[in-house]
Amino acid sequence: MDSSLKNYITVTAGYWAFTLTDGAIRMLVVLYFHLLGYSPFEVAMLFLFYEFFGIITNLVGGWMAARLGLNVTMHIGMVMQVVALLMLTVPDQWLSVAYVMLAQAISGIAKDLNKMSAKASIKTLLSGDTESTLFKWVAILTGSKNTLKGVGFFLGALLLQLVGFRWALAILAIGLFIVLIVTWLFLPSDMGKSKSKPKFTQVFSNIPAINWLSAARFFLFGARDVWFVVALPVFLYEVLQWDFMKIGGFMATWVIAYGLVQASTPTLLRGHQPQGKSAVILAMVLVIIPAGIALSLNQSWNPEWVVIIGLLVFGIIFAINSAVHSYLILAYSDHDKVSMNVGFYYMANAGGRLTGTVLSGLIYQFYGLVGCLWVSAGFVLMAAIFSLKLTSTNEV
């Protein structure tokens, strides 16, 4: 087997295993702490440091990877995730808001180190290949990751119901540790290491297209998380009175389907290479969907079907838009600076997630799911406006 393909498969397998734990821990924390009596805003606050430290990690992590190698930063992320999982296995009386926020901070650092390392490694493994191959491999990695995150949602809900909160976390930690050992043995130690030793100031991109794309990414992912992270599962539990398994199964199915659409994006676009205008068109279509769901929920229609159908349509367009973004950031980047550019880009991504997560709990508590959906529509509109700038830069 070609060494590049073998390394790509190893990176993908490690990313899959990590993503399973990331989706599971998210579902476990949302459901378990809501069950303990936490308000929607308090649940959102548990993820504050998860997202905040993701911003810092992406900024610093890309620079670290360029100096130490992507293999090192990816496995540091895995170790930290094992620690975060085990931290939450303590008795309930230890699970103060501050303690859980600390555990989630470690998990957030772990997630973004792992994600940045896996995404950036594709560019280094495919040096000399065509842009169409890059688009295909990025779409497969990104789409499969989100599919596995959906499986993680379901796995978290299933383990919570079958073995309880603490045993669920212990099982996830043991599984990830085994994968960590295997991937460490198989991947080259110098993967993604820069030929030079870049200065920290070089993490801030001087390429306009990357800066505009990062700004669009901030609002795109804020638009998703402002209603998906806290508001939606709490709405399903409180208003529609779904049980944990039904909530976990539904959200898992959505994320799995979302990932499959991402992975299929090159086929859906019929081989056309995405350009800046692709991101503009997709964002303009997407803005209609949360606004339409919000309007529909104010009618006398069945709210269950409105949410299910609306989320399905939202997921399809959002997945294609996200896949286009994931391709463009690599296409705009030079091989030697790819980890720093990807780190900067995912710093914006984490900033959008942080903003969306906090607003998801806060707005839901005062204005319900409809309020969250209107904010989502506004965020997508901002993503479209920033994407317009991509059409005036040099296309890939």
Q: What mean pLDDT is predicted for residues 99-110?
A: 88
How many angstroms separate the CA atoms of 70 and 15, rounded?
13
In a domain, 199, yes or no: no
Residue 14's pLDDT band, with cuts at 50, 70 and 90, is confident
Residue 394 has pLDDT above 50, yes or no: no
How many Å apart are CA 57 and CA 221, to the nearest integer? Answer: 17
Mean pLDDT of the chain, nearest integer:
80
Name the DSSP class of 241: -
Of 255 and 175, more confident: 175
Is residue 197 domain-resident?
no
Mean pLDDT, range 130-136, rounded to an integer: 63
Q: Residue 128 sits in which domain range?
A: 3-188+208-392
CA distances from 87 to 115, 168, 170, 349 (A): 22, 13, 10, 26
d(CA 293, CA 307): 7
Residue 336 domain-assigned (yes or no)? yes
Give the model's pLDDT for residue 199: 56
**What residues have CB less than 8 Å from 267, skipping those under 6 apart?**
none
Q: Residue length, the chain?
A: 396
Domain annotation covers residue 297: yes
Q: Which residue has the tokens 């900067």?
A: 344
Percentage above 70 pLDDT, the chain: 81
Sequential DSSP letters for 310-368? HHHHHHHHHHHHHHHHHHHHHHTS-GGGHHHHHHHHHHHHHHHHHHHHHHHHHHHHHHH
Residues 288-347 pLDDT 10s: 999 999 999 988 889 999 999 998 999 899 989 988 887 787 777 665 556 666 777 778
Quick one: pLDDT at residue 390? 77
Distances (CA, A) of 122 to 210, 261, 300: 18, 20, 49
198 falls within a domain: no
Assigned domain for 200 exists: no
Which of 86-90, 151-155, 183-187, 189-193 has the largest mean confidence? 86-90
Number of domains in the chain: 1
Tell me the pLDDT band of 256, cut-offs 50, 70 and 90. Answer: confident
CA angle 150, 385, 291 (to 5 degrees): 55
**CB within 8 Å of 367: residues ≥ 6 apart:** none
R_g (Cα) of the chain, nearest Å:
20
Instruction: Compare 104 and 41 and report the one with higher pLDDT.
Output: 104
User: CATH number of the domain that 71 lies in?
Assistant: 1.20.1250.20
pTM of the full structure: 0.70
Residue 193 covered by a domain: no
User: Residue 88 is which amino acid?
Assistant: L
Residue 392 has pLDDT above 90, yes or no: no
Does any domain span residue 196? Answer: no
396 pLDDT band (50/70/90 cuts)?
very low
What distance in Å separates the CA atoms of residue 251 and residue 158, rounded to the nearest whole number? 13
Does the structure show a pLDDT above 70 at 193?
A: no
Nearest by Cα to 354 from 142, 45, 4: 45
